[in-house]
Amino acid sequence: MQKNLKIALVQSDLVWEKPEENRLNFTRKINAIPNDVDIVVLPEMFTTGFTMSPFKLAESMTGKTVNWMKDLAKTKAVAIVGSIIIAEKGNFYNRLLFVEPSGFITSYDKRHTFTLVGEHKIYEAGKEKVILHYKGWKIRPLICYDLRFPVWSRNTENYDVLLYVANWPKSRILAWDVLLKARAIENMCYSIGVNRIGIDGLNTEYSGHSAACDVLGQTITAFHANEEGVQVVTLNQKHITTNRNKFKFLDDKDSFNFT
């Protein structure tokens, strides 16, 4: 496997319900990222903001944003990940897409829809756990509210990286900071979260706090509040194996069946 994995965290404001403007913004940002990066991570619903209006904004898996992701991933030779609104078989999904330079796509539908604002009434909840393999690394992609549910993210597959994309409000940002660390510690994996900044069309404020933590919960990169930009973090496979072999906490994990 590839010993190191370079991941670019892109923390940005989002233009409310304007997919084309957001695609242009992220095109500029991604084109400026160094060519040795392996994965670029964008926020949740990065073309629209966290909207409950999918009827006018949803796309298909052959739509403009998916094609944009495929074209840019191929041109930059980098995997691109973020979530968008997808319409499929009469349902709407908050769907994370991991698009490889080859054009291969792994998708994950958000399991825990955010009932506080009625997301569960509009978007179909995902049912499938996803572990993707990229350059020899095992990655578990998740979305925003999933961060609050440790059973769903429990590391029973010995994955290497938890990857969260989010629109997590400033009013509850302490929970985001703490839980990103907690998920890293309890699963002995890298935990990476990319959140947006700015104020959306519903006047909800976001302060970012995108960050990456190592398997011991140490923060290895983090954005300042309201900071727009890109940070690149290098993950090291030896760091995972050395600490898992030393502490062996995962050997003592509880066995359970998830339903």
Tokens 């094609």, residue located: 67
| SS percent in the chain: helix, strand, coil, step 5 | 30, 30, 40
Size of the chain, expressed as the number of residues it contains: 259
Q: Is 36 helix (H, G, I), strand (E, B) or coil?
A: coil
Output the CA–CA distances (angstroms, integers) from residue 217 to 7, 65, 150, 190, in the order listed: 17, 34, 15, 8
Round to whole Å and give the CA distance between 196 and 209. 8
Round to whole Å and give the CA distance between 42 and 62. 19
The catalytic site residues sit at 44, 110, 144
Q: CB of 41 within 8 A of CB of 226?
A: no
